[in-house]
């Protein structure tokens, strides 16, 4: 039997935004628990066995869009961590379009209402999370970042393995698999 680990789809953040959030994540995630870089998840678990069909849908959707502005709205308490809330009508429209295309494959987590965010701390003690939230809230002012495309990852039981980065506005043919999108 062939093992097909689930696929994860995230928004590809602009380089500056990614670096800022990833630095925060590395600084505040409990040591030894941070196995993936900073990310904004659109889908947590699409079927790996459907990689070709997933690729066609993602490439077509990405090709029809320009980079999109995302508003960082502020830190959000997760109970055992902190995330930054993200607002973007364009991102929500994209997510809804993709959810409709993938409707037969969505897990309960991916069928839940979409609440875009970037987690910078998780699996921490609640008191540490509250302290970080208070610290981050003191000087926070909303700011904009950009989503430049979509990233696809293979879930490996903790760590993720990157498969492809699909740029918005790239109207190249869909091809037969995600590997073609990143030159591998």
**pLDDT tens track for 175-184:** 434 554 443 3
Q: Where is pLDDT greater, at 175 or 70? A: 70
The answer to whether residue 151 scores a pLDDT higher than 70 is: yes
How many CB atoms are closer than 10 A to CB 12? 22
Record the pTM: 0.91
pLDDT digits (tens, 9 = 90+) for 91-120: 999 999 999 999 999 999 999 999 999 999
CA dihedral 23, 82, 162, 89 (to 10 degrees): -110
pLDDT of residue 31: 84
Q: What percent of the chain has pLDDT over 90?
A: 85
pLDDT digits (tens, 9 = 90+) for 19-32: 999 999 999 999 88
CATH fold label, 7-169: Cyclic Phosphodiesterase; Chain: A, (3.90.1140)
Q: Helix %, strand %, coil % for the chain, to 5? A: 35, 30, 35
Nearest to 174 by CA among 89, 59, 88, 80: 59
């Amino acid at each position: 039997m062939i093992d097909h680990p689930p696929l994860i789809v995230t928004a590809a953040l602009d380089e500056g935004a990614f670096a800022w959030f990833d630095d925060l994540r590395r600084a505040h995630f409990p040591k030894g628990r941070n196995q993936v870089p900073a990310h904004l998840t659109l889908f947590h678990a699409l079927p790996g066995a459907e990689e070709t069909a997933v690729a066609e849908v993602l490439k077509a959707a990405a090709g029809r869009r320009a980079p999109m502005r995302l508003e960082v709205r502020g830190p959000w308490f997760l109970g055992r961590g902190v995330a930054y809330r993200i607002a973007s009508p364009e991102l929500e429209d994209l997510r809804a379009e993709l959810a409709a295309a993938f409707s037969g494959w969505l897990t309960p987590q991916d069928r839940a209402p979409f609440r875009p965010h970037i987690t910078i701390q998780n699996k921490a003690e609640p008191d540490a999370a509250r302290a970080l939230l208070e610290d981050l809230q003191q000087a926070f002012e909303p700011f904009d970042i950009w989503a430049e495309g979509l990233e696809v990852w293979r879930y490996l039981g903790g760590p993720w393995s990157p498969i492809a980065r699909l740029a918005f506005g790239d109207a190249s043919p869909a091809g037969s698999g995600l590997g073609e999108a990143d030159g591998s």
